[in-house]
A = this chain, B = another copy of it.
Amino acid sequence: MTQKTSNYITKLRNSKLRPTKQRIKICEALFDRSETFHFTIRDLYNLLTNNLVHKISLATVYNTVHAFKNSGYLKQINIDSNNNYFDTNTSHHHHFFDETNNELIDLKNEDIKKIELKKIIPGKKIKSVEVLVKIEPE
């Protein structure tokens, strides 16, 4: 077993999932990458089923992605009601969104000045701060 595969098995076990062949294939599609991967469930499903002889059902893709999201191995990114994205970059960061091709681009935390709020809501604490920069051709 490769180093990568045992890493996938760890991720799966941490997510309370048994390492099945379908889930390993999903891990390969998600995590065997040098760059951040931004995807919709449909993107991932198409990617998986185009290359594979043994298809993986859509339900399994949904289940696995959501389990990874819940265990923190994937981040969910809300762009608009038409596009529900996930992100393999789970560090704190923001995004550019190019509406011409529906592409997400990472904006590293150090590429943006710290967001400073002058207003607070009494009795509430901040859970997250997300910045979305929509871009278009010049």
Contacts and interface: CB of A to CB of B under 8 A. Distances in A.
The A interface, classified by DSSP as helix, strand, loop or mixed, is: strand
Nearest to A111: B119
Contacts of A115: 112-113, 115, 131
Contacts of A129: 131-134
A125 to B, nearest CB: 5
Interface of A: 76, 78-81, 84, 96, 98-99, 105, 107-108, 110-113, 115-119, 121, 123-138
Given A96-B121, A107-B119, A130-B133, 19 more contacts: A78-B79, A78-B81, A96-B124, A98-B121, A98-B124, A107-B117, A112-B118, A113-B115, A113-B116, A113-B118, A123-B137, A124-B135, A124-B136, A126-B135, A128-B134, A129-B133, A130-B132, A131-B131, A132-B132
